[in-house]
Chains A and B, each alone.
Chain A
Amino acid sequence: MEITAIITALCLVLGSLLGITGGIGVYRLPDFFTRLHACGITDSACAFLILSGLMFQTGTSLETVKLLFILIFLLITSPTSTHALAKAALNSGETPLMEQQQTQQKREER
């Protein structure tokens, strides 16, 4: 078996695992910001691993370039939208769970 195939397989498996982790995180975590972190972090890493894994299979061709473009596009847009989302949520009054707990604690201390 070729070395590229092994690299591809590794990348894909790793990427998929990361993706599933993110999916579970998004489904299970308690509040918006924790879910967003699960989604945001794994999204980019998963996309990076899977797409670069695929790139090893295309050699040098138009497909490689396309994959590269998709990768760059995702790597730029995905964090951007996550950032914008978090900002919008914060702006419109959503408070992170931790902050809520802290204020609650303070109130209790008082």
Chain B
Amino acid sequence: MELFIDITLLTFLCITALAITVIRKLFCAVMLAGIFSLLSACLFVSMDAVDVAFTEAAVGTGIATVLMLAALNLSHSREKCPPYQPLLALLVVCTTGAVLVYGTMDLPAFGDATAPIHHHVAPRYIEQSQQEIGPPNFVTSILASYRGYDTLAETVVIFTAGLSVVALLGIRDRRGGQSITTDRSAMKGYLVLRVVTKLLLPFIFLFALYVQFHGDYGPGGGFQAGVIFASGVIIHSLTLGRDRTLKAFPQRFLTILATAGVLLYGGTGLAAMVRGGNFLDYSVLGATALAGQHLGIFLVELGVGVTVFASMTLMYYAFSYRKEA
């Protein structure tokens, strides 16, 4: 049964990918890309990667699509016919693909439990992480502790993206004397949508908090929570007008928040050094190693969540304010 679902999803993915190559309307290509990432997220679930699916759905389908639409809104929405037949490209792609297929010949079969990948490093994570670190979600343990440094870099990556987008597009608060009610960006004609949004927003934020603090036990964690929080803010801005949102979450505040998140993560690592451990060694933070790990992971996830939320929202602001700037 699982195999069948797997194959069906892969087929759908192929159809979507081919449609994306053929279709000329960028608007539709973006929507199909959204479907593609939704489908791949389903595939991740069927291949047991629930955390990845969570992130892919929130990021690939949610944020990336919104950003693409916003960018499309700032430019053309139709692709020109390529002036030449891209035969060379086809050749390059076929060669690369052939090399890769050749490379998979010696790979262990899909789902093979005896593959080397499952036998060297991974078993320790599964067998000992609960004694060494605590959370039942192994992914959280690895992400925040065993490979916590990668996650610090990841946080800085998203922070950098936020900075870059702001540096490139700039955010100008044009509110000035204008009152909020004249904001044209609000979806005035959609009363139902506006009411529903107001109704749902508290629950979205609540859900974000749940994901943030429940990440130890189920799928989720700081990154996903940050994205959900940002989605909430984006929904708010889309329906109720961006000036109102900007008033609730000013740019300066978000910048400080993004910075604070990175510094919180780095600071947790430094605190471990002050207490005599290595960088990011949370064990020394608490009375016992487990308590220390717990505290460390909590702080670190909080830092990730805050930075991701602030950076994503800043990026969205930058795109949303560009048009009339």
Contact = CB atoms under 8 A, between A and B. Distances in A.
Contacts of A77: 196, 200
Contacts of B196: 76-77, 80
Nearest to A81: B193
B83 interface: no
B211 to A, nearest CB: 12
A91 B187 CA distance: 13
A84 B196 CA distance: 11
A82 to B, nearest CB: 10
Contacts of B207: 69
B199 interface: yes
B220 to A, nearest CB: 12
A52 to B, nearest CB: 19
B190 A84 contact: yes
Interface string B186-210: 0001101100100110010001000
A42 B46 CA distance: 26
A69 B200 CA distance: 11
Contacts of A69: 203, 207
B313 to A, nearest CB: 21
Contacts of B193: 80, 83-84
B192 A84 contact: yes
Nearest to A91: B189
Nearest to B196: A80
A69 B204 CA distance: 11
Interface in A47-98: 69, 73, 76-77, 80, 83-84, 87, 91
Contact of B200 (A73, A83, A87, A91): A73
A36 to B, nearest CB: 15
Tell me the interface secondary structure of chain B in the complex.
helix
A84 B192 CA distance: 8
Which bucket holds chain A's interface residue count?
under 10
A83 B192 contact: yes
Interface in B190-243: 190, 192-193, 196, 199-200, 203, 207
A44 to B, nearest CB: 14
A77 B193 CA distance: 9
Contact of B189 (A73, A76, A80, A87): A87
B202 to A, nearest CB: 13
B252 to A, nearest CB: 33
A76 B190 contact: no
Nearest to A79: B192
Nearest to B187: A84
A83 B187 CA distance: 14
Contacts of B199: 76
A9 to B, nearest CB: 16
A45 B293 CA distance: 46
Contacts of B189: 87, 91
Interface string A10-27: 000000000000000000
Contacts of A84: 190, 192-193
A87 B192 CA distance: 11
A84 B203 CA distance: 21
Contacts of A76: 196, 199-200
Contacts of A87: 189-190
A77 B203 CA distance: 13
A58 to B, nearest CB: 15
A51 to B, nearest CB: 16
A84 B207 CA distance: 24
A87 B203 CA distance: 26
Given A77-B200, A91-B189, 4 more contacts: A69-B203, A76-B199, A76-B200, A77-B196
Interface of A: 69, 73, 76-77, 80, 83-84, 87, 91
7 closest A-B pairs by CB: A80-B196, A84-B193, A84-B190, A83-B192, A76-B196, A80-B192, A80-B193
13 contacts: A69-B203, A73-B203, A76-B200, A77-B196, A80-B192, A80-B193, A83-B193, A84-B190, A84-B192, A84-B193, A87-B189, A87-B190, A91-B189
